[in-house]
Structure 1
């Protein structure tokens, strides 16, 4: 508990520093220093039969045993991309030739030999990628080709990861993936014949790429739910770390105090591997400095128990009174399964009376943060913002006193969460990602079943500052006793060919886009 008290003090100081845009400490904490190693997970027969079905961890184990090569894995994904891209539209850019060249080098023992050696990945199109267009799905960046990688991308490559391409996204990270003028592109991998089904937030492309078996894993960004919501909608495990855990250097911004970078993966182990590589201090992003050390996340995602699985550390899971207000049957079954795991204790928690006000009304304060770095383009050519223009203009309408009031509300909310709700539990089940987005606290999303229409359903678990390992412990042991996360969507059929024409896709209006990004 002493570590938790220290983490809270650092988190509060860091939050104040981030709001002021200053460096918290000139002496950065250490990243996880041991060389990450994937444990010898059990490889499913389906993964042995089809490389694209292998989780990241399974692919690493198969390569370690000489049963799979990086070239074979990369070719399997590129073949699926070629076959199904017209339907899914998960990628904004495919770097097939470069990916195959990197895979062949990996098989010759050349290039980086890290934990991701030979693993093909998808990267959201708002991360800088050296020599590869980074358009952020916008007219503003339509011709932008960076000359460096974002820090997160550089670390993935240094660990041996292979870039398959750039994942499609919402225009400037505001809505689900559409063209800049609002025509829907990426679909939910589970309902490719119905573009109207919500695929989640702006990290739609990276989520669809992983769910549809077009990549081993992916990285996205979250400002209002765009890691955890696409994960819930597409049967993935998404991990949004605490603010500062992952550098945002080289990521096109949306909100300085709320942007987060993190993985969208097949399961808790894959998410842990990805975050282990990405996390740690970066001198080019002051938000990452002076924080607690990054823990062993891969160990956290490894379930324990010889006579039945148990959670690694005794954990109190907070259940809000309204948790069962939606999808009651699925969530009730989830609670029964989770509560039966040794070491897990479910405790009912109550939100403060002003919860809706603090997490709803004052949530709009972030709009001026998205406007600030884009004032030049708003003055020069507002049409470049396409369908998302209204939400950017809303940021111009917020006054300084409104922003200050919102910061006071945020300070009040953080006390309500840390000294109230989270004082009753170790982790908290949520019905919305917004409260922990506002505060920069960590969240993990993972699947718990399917609704009556066959669309995946998931939950969001929020954690204490810098306790991503605790979230992984809970998600990993739940996934060890269930198999929802192993389910795979059916491949598109010929009857879905009509989706190849963009004219068949719906188009968001400016009002719908503004509402979706609210």
Structure 2
């Protein structure tokens, strides 16, 4: 078993015992990264930075007081600004942009001794569910069942493909409507979206500021707990960052959930849900019941309005956030004709720089924020969001400790199979995940089984705000009961 296939926990223990150096571990991952180009996961490789960081990690490990993430090789989603390294958000409009600063999340990880192998593919500006809107081309799922290339999910598709394909030990992702949890489910890995405000958004290219949260994408629940501990914490540079202490998430993994109440929301039983996903959901509930939890039916009555509300609020915030990409200060600027003024510069730059999906969402967002439609759409969506949040608050007030749902409405689909003519078809991928972002709650996807064709399926657990430790413990119980150890057959 080569070192690039290890979990963070296994690597941490081997590094501390001196069984491997951070430099050798990093070399194993760099070798796997270079051999994995067919997956399209890495878009900017940083081997020199990785080896410098690995050597520094070895020096810390030799002193004997290194933190858990010291020497752990990671992939970083292209949405995180990394100093001096291209940070493009998979968009042509940011071609050539190399930030002069480091995002808070990557700063924290590097201070903990983590190693950056490179930047990972994603949907442009994190807008998409299949990694097909990227200016670099799609990332590819390491899992396959025939000669088709399957999506690794989106927007954190490169992160999911890299972790599932063992091109790194773990990766950072971001989640605005399911962009950590859906790709994790499609690739058979673990992905957690923390409570809104738990992880700083400073230095992460913004999509929808009231919904975006960064989180870890890992090979196990224990790894998610270790990495989240390094990423989380208050940041004065982010006004929405919560000044709440970060507990030891790994210590919360007791494996004991006796007497806990798990809610099963009846509104998540949607028409047309594949029988396999329904059966998996039942099996997941049985596993938690066998571990001593009480399974209760609950109602989240406003669930059916979540997708429409999300696809008003997210594009509205995106149109506002993306107004800064205008060809003036950084990134792409269109070539102008003689006599073109500033308006033409804006129009040509944005038309060339943004892909179709980003253009579509900016137009929707501008429309719903416009004078005649603000109340009819945006304000109404905000009211619906408050009702969705209240549904969860009432369930938790009634004593529910966590909520179990499917993570996705299907297993991974083929690249190019979702009709580009009907974007709604793609948006439906987020049906089980967007409520968690609208309510600001923590949610985690855990791989629980394979479908009839042999593709991974995940279940989602939703937790109380700020109780990621509890949520991770429920996920840990589910992970152990499911015993999911399947790996994709190497074809790349």
TM-score (norm 2): 0.83
Distance in 2 (CA, whole Å) between partners of 1:70 and 1:142 is: 32
Distance in 2 (CA, whole Å) between partners of 1:180 and 1:62 is: 37
* Equivalent residue number for residue 297 of structure 2: 348
* Equivalent residue number for residue 366 of structure 1: 314
Q: Give structure 2 stretches of 5+ with no counterpart.
A: 327-345, 407-431
Distance in 2 (CA, whole Å) between partners of 1:96 and 1:194 is: 32
SS at match of 1:419: helix
Asked if the contact 1:317–1:345 (Cα under 8 Å) also holds between the matched residues in 2, the reply is yes
* Equivalent residue number for residue 279 of structure 1: 232
Asked if the contact 1:139–1:180 (Cα under 8 Å) also holds between the matched residues in 2, the reply is no
Structure 1, residues 162-191: CA drift from partner, whole Å, max 9, x if none? 00011111011112323645x742011212
* Equivalent residue number for residue 22 of structure 2: 70
TM-score (norm 1): 0.79
* Equivalent residue number for residue 250 of structure 2: 298
Show the 5 A alignment for 1:110-509.
113-175=66-128, 176-178=130-132, 180=134, 184-191=137-144, 196-290=149-243, 292-303=244-255, 310-311=256-257, 314-321=259-266, 325-326=273-274, 327-342=277-292, 344-352=293-301, 354-361=302-309, 363-377=311-325, 379-380=346-347, 381-383=349-351, 384-388=353-357, 389-399=359-369, 400-401=374-375, 402-420=377-395, 423-431=398-406, 432-484=432-484, 486-492=485-491
Distance in 1 (CA, whole Å) between partners of 2:452 and 2:153 is: 18
Q: In 2 relative to 1, CA 195–160 (structure 1 residues): closer, same or farther, beyond 3 Å?
A: farther
Q: In 2 relative to 1, CA 422–255 (structure 1 residues): closer, same or farther, beyond 3 Å?
A: farther
Is 2:4 aligned against 1:52? yes
* Equivalent residue number for residue 97 of structure 1: 48
Q: After the TM superposition, which parts of structure 1 deviate over 6 Å for at least 4 consecutive aligned residues?
A: none
Distance in 2 (CA, whole Å) between partners of 1:362 and 1:239 is: 20
* Equivalent residue number for residue 501 of structure 1: none
SS at match of 1:121: strand
Distance in 1 (CA, whole Å) between partners of 2:154 and 2:104 is: 23
Q: In 2 relative to 1, CA 412–481 (structure 1 residues): closer, same or farther, beyond 3 Å?
A: closer
Structure 1, residues 237-266: CA drift from partner, whole Å, max 9, x if none? 111000000000000000010001100111
SS at match of 2:224: helix
Deviation at residue 452 of structure 1 after TM alignment: 1.3
Deviation at residue 283 of structure 1 after TM alignment: 0.5
Asked if the contact 1:94–1:165 (Cα under 8 Å) also holds between the matched residues in 2, the reply is yes
Structure 1, residues 299-320: CA drift from partner, whole Å, max 9, x if none? 11343xxxxxx33x63211112
SS at match of 1:357: helix
Q: In 2 relative to 1, CA 50–472 (structure 1 residues): closer, same or farther, beyond 3 Å?
A: same
Asked if the contact 2:90–2:121 (Cα under 8 Å) also holds between the matched residues in 1, the reply is yes
Distance in 2 (CA, whole Å) between partners of 1:192 and 1:142 is: 35
Deviation at residue 296 of structure 1 after TM alignment: 1.9
Asked if the contact 1:84–1:492 (Cα under 8 Å) also holds between the matched residues in 2, the reply is no
Q: In 2 relative to 1, CA 316–59 (structure 1 residues): closer, same or farther, beyond 3 Å?
A: same
Asked if the contact 1:180–1:385 (Cα under 8 Å) also holds between the matched residues in 2, the reply is no
Asked if the contact 2:449–2:482 (Cα under 8 Å) also holds between the matched residues in 1, the reply is no
Distance in 1 (CA, whole Å) between partners of 2:117 and 2:397 is: 40
Aligned CA-pair RMSD: 2.1
